[in-house]
A and B are shown apart, each in its own frame.
Chain A
Amino acid sequence: MPDLLIELFSEEIPARMQGKAAADLQKLVTDGLVEAGLTYAGARAFSTPRRLTLALDGLLAQSPTLREERRGPKVGAPDKALEGFMRGAGVTRDQLEEREDKKGSFYYATVVTEGRPAAEIVAEVLEKTIRNFPWPKSMRWGAGSLRWVRPLHRITCILSDEAGASVVSLDIDGIVAGQQTEGHRFMGGGAFTVTSFEDYEAQLKRNFVVLSSEERQEAIWNDATNAAFALGLEVVEDKGLLREVAGLVEWPVVLMGDIEEDFLGLPPEVLQTSMKEHQKFFSVRNPKTGRIEKWITVSNIETADHGATILAGNQKVLAARLADAKFFWENDLRVAQRQGLSAWTDRLSNVTFHRELGSQAERIDRIAALAREIAPAVGADADLAEQAARVAKADLSSEMVYEFPELQGLMGRYYAQAAGLDASVAAACEEHYSPLGPSDDVPTAPVSVAVALADKLDTLTGFWAIDEKPTGSKDPYALRRAALGVIRLVLANSARMKLDRFIDAQLVRHKVKIIEDLRQDEATALIAEIAEHGVFGAAFRTVLEAGEERTNGFSSLEQVVPDTSTDLLSFFHDRLKVHLRDEGIRHDVIDACLAMEGSDDIRLLVTRAEALAAFMKTDDGENLVQGFKRANNILSQAEEKDGVEYSYGADVKFAEEDSEKALFAALDAAEAKITPAMQGEDFAAAMEAMASLRAPIDAFFEAVQVNSENSIIRRNRLNLLSRIRTICSQVADLSKLEG
């Protein structure tokens, strides 16, 4: 069985595309071969800056011959039908067979698809693969029309076995497949002929090409860490950079250089970012001091001077870059120390956040107001929370963040410290962006939490106010991430708050900006009222009614705010469902809890859901649900039939049977436990007491006919069931549970 070797040799492939391209080559070729009947034993794909390589071993030498029997028309059918059948099957009249079955006599044809040699199939599959390759971006070159990521120069395609290697005959727009390739652009010794994958890999290595990206990464990491270790230093790990750098070289040579004394005072993050982004250098750290003291670059060549020229050149470029960074850092520090961060926040009034949502400065005003309101709920000092919100985005105007946007927040922290602000304010400058992704830590410092929540809620309410909500896969403002961030902040900090109030307050702040004819003092009063009581408060209505006579702005607020707010809250609930489902909580459990009052208190909601989910896993869970459902079903049927709701209250004096009296007593006893448990939000204890009702409920149904002929007794019994329903529905709406 032959082995197959394919190499597609081109001009430099972008590093970020190489890994996926190798995998795509493997998938497209192997899928195509298998579909044509050519199976294989093993496949490996490789990439370097200039080549994609696929090696298959144990390929079938030819596809198997296929025999297929087809039934044709009935014997005696019109000639036309028979001719059509023969044409379709590719047979002649004398090759047909007549056979008899239950339905009569039919013509049969045996269609034989001859096996084809592997070379023929490989050529077809490879051509199709090359012509339809899924590059993220592709191009034409010269006068041709073929597309590839960069000009494709050579195709090596051979089948090899014990007898030797043979070239697969293939010509794609003038590129003829052959048996040759070449090594390193500068160190390699020109073109050479390859006879198998092993030979190919070995010859490449002799010509200064390490074929495997993993091997290059390993070599770089080993050499780098060894070089650093020898000096008592360590390389700052960066897997993404390692992968990228391995995609920029065929023959990695690790070189270590110094950072001039002048630049060692820069924050380590600045050094690291500047070296990584501009030069693709690894940072080398002194483990004792935590300072970045050296760097490592990976060149693509061995030189007679052992890299001295290359190192000197890189050193020079880095010095120019770091001189820039130092210039920014020192200018920024001077501003922060002499003028404070307000010098930068003032400038943010000229920076548009979003066309319809105003400037960054206006945004900061809104966030500061909201952070102040949220502060008590998260245990933060309101003044500090407001102050932190006012300066948290100041660094956006700094020179360093203009140059390196990824340092936003972090620079804010340094500059807030330099300006002599409270440590909690400085921390909030950095932390208020968090959590960004699912793996990002959630801030716990109260001031940071208040600003982080206010920032995210302002973004969410803003885009809801202008109706730019996420749809399907489109979420350009990362609003799903913001909502999940709010949820994680609330849960991780066990923050008890009525989210609704803050949403409403912030929505009105946005709307006030949008509705121009609203007076500022009226708006302020209105927002304070909402933050205190929510949009359904009495004072809210009063202010609205007062305003309505003068302007239609108020009436539009009244119409719009509650609907938008409800919609946003349900967006939060959707995110929460996803979040809880990931934690293994069933969707019907979540729905049962969402149906309860106070579902805008996310911490409480999740405590309920967790308690219910845990309880449902115990035997008592079954008892609770079955007891409730039995009572509720009969009650609901009766209510539907009678057209009334039984909630008047049952009286034990109408109880006739012992089990009925026992149920009254059991309910009293359960209630005595449930009421304090609910007050203490001890949902497990409350549910345990509810579950204890199942036995008396079952006993009651066995002994008692609810539908008594005595209407007083019947009504009393239905009211008794109603009491069960009320008692058992305090933690969650159990009717929403499945099963």
Chain B
Amino acid sequence: MMRRETGKTDMAETLPKPRSFQEIILRLQTYWASKGCAILQPYDMEVGAGTFHPATTLRSLGSKPWTAAYVQPSRRPTDGRYGENPNRLQHYYQYQVIIKPSPPDLQALYLGSLEAIGIDMALHDVRFVEDDWESPTLGAWGLGWEVWCDGMEVSQFTYFQQVGGHDCHPVSGELTYGLERLAMYVLGVDHVMDMPFNDPQSPSPLTYGDVFKQTEQEYSRWNFDVADTDTLLRHFEEAEAECARIIDAPAEDPKTGKRIIMAHPAYDQAIKASHIFNLLDARGVISVTERQAYIGRVRALTKLCADAFVQTEAGGYVA
């Protein structure tokens, strides 16, 4: 049978193959910037996934349009393998795109981003396979897919329906790329630590292992065996209390006389509690029944923050 030309016109032309991990990141940044996204920087706190960045969780609430893209270093203490496993890491990067309201051509935009990093749509088999997303700690859910490229999951594609217990109006479209896995595929690397981080032709080429192998070992040991659980438990309680205290503060700031609801500082405490919970989980001190209780406590905090955010100007509040 005869092959036809690709029908889509809004797709970028496939570029030559990238040579390094950072080139893939840079190309995604350039591509999404060209599509009008604000290129933000990573959030300066420990989070489990790019979704936790307030640019996604909080900004997906309320009626104001929003469009942003950013890299988010993410930590999953239980996934630590001392840098030995070819594709499991306790610290890894996600690339996150969030657009509100979700544009009608979001799928085409996404496919364009794959072409931008050298995936030729005429040679690969890209599929959208049902995968509904739910985050019990964020009180959030959405419908969408995991995107498969030649049988490998390369991204998560979600239309947010609810965040922090609030219905999303309008709906945000969220794209999450697991950068290491995607880059390994594009670069044809079998072990993450062997992946070129910068240009392999540069005077001082660095692999992913040069940058992260040692830290994977150090954190794996600390996460699993050394982190002081009593301290962590105390920090969890403190973060939880501080979050509630911030939310309880009156809206009017006595010093400036302005209405300043502190949704973001409170949300920082919720993020903190969530990460401490993950650490406690890795330390193996949380039983099956306690797990649900902890998740419920974090969800209660995010809900408080979401409630507060929609009372702020960025959250669509009009005095």
Contacts and interface: CB of A to CB of B under 8 A. Distances in A.
Contact-residue bracket for chain B? 35 or more
B130 A16 contact: yes
Interface in B162-187: 168-171, 173, 185
Given A141-B171, A304-B3, A186 B121 contact: yes
Interface in A223-269: 248-249
Task: Specify the main secondary structure of chain A where it touches its partner.
Answer: loop
Interface in A1-28: 11-12, 14-16
Contacts of B309: none
B104 A190 contact: no
B125 A310 contact: yes
A318 B151 contact: yes
A188 B4 contact: yes
A188 B125 contact: no
A188 B185 CA distance: 27
Nearest to A311: B150
A52 B54 CA distance: 38
B3 A153 contact: no
A313 B125 CA distance: 9
Nearest to A301: B125
Contacts of A143: 101, 169-171
Contact of A309 (B9, B104, B123, B289): B123
A12 B145 contact: yes
A565 interface: no
A626 interface: no
Given A190-B7, A313-B124, A352-B289, A142 B152 contact: no
Contacts of A112: none
A150 B145 CA distance: 10
Interface string A393-416: 000000000000000000000000
A143 B142 CA distance: 15
A347 B25 CA distance: 44
Contacts of B6: 186-187
Contacts of A352: 288-289
B122 interface: yes
A317 B7 contact: no
Contact of B104 (A153, A184, A187, A297): A153
B129 interface: yes
A222 interface: no
B103 interface: yes
A357 to B, nearest CB: 14
Contacts of A314: 150-152
Contacts of B135: none
Contacts of A312: 150
A309 B144 CA distance: 26
Interface in B94-151: 101-104, 107, 121-130, 132, 142-145, 149-151
A639 interface: no
B161 A139 contact: yes
Contacts of B250: none
Contacts, number: 124
* Interface secondary structure of B, over-half rule: loop
Contact of A299 (B102, B125, B145, B185): B125
B145 A140 contact: no
B170 A186 contact: no
B102 A141 contact: yes
A139 B172 CA distance: 12
Contact of A186 (B7, B102, B130, B190): B7
A279 B121 CA distance: 20
A547 interface: no
B5 interface: yes
B200 interface: no
B151 A208 contact: no
Given A11-B107, A182-B7, A183-B7, A310 B171 contact: no
Contact of B123 (A15, A153, A303): A303
A727 to B, nearest CB: 62
A249 B126 CA distance: 10
Contacts of A305: 123
B159 interface: yes
Contacts of B152: 313-314, 316-317
A14 B130 contact: yes
Nearest to B184: A316
B78 interface: no
Contact of A279 (B5, B126, B151, B288): B151
A182 B7 CA distance: 9
Contacts of A186: 6-8, 121-122, 126
B4 to A, nearest CB: 5
A489 B38 CA distance: 66
21 contacts: A12-B130, A15-B129, A137-B143, A139-B142, A140-B161, A140-B171, A141-B102, A142-B103, A150-B159, A151-B102, A182-B7, A187-B3, A187-B6, A189-B5, A190-B7, A301-B125, A310-B150, A310-B151, A314-B150, A316-B190, A352-B288
Top-5 shortest CB links A-B: A313-B150, A14-B130, A12-B128, A314-B151, A143-B170
Interface of B: 1, 3-9, 86-87, 101-104, 107, 121-130, 132, 142-145, 149-152, 159, 161, 168-171, 173, 185, 190, 288-289
Given A12-B130, A49-B128, A142-B171, 12 more contacts: A12-B127, A12-B145, A137-B143, A139-B161, A139-B171, A150-B159, A183-B7, A186-B6, A189-B4, A301-B125, A312-B150, A313-B151
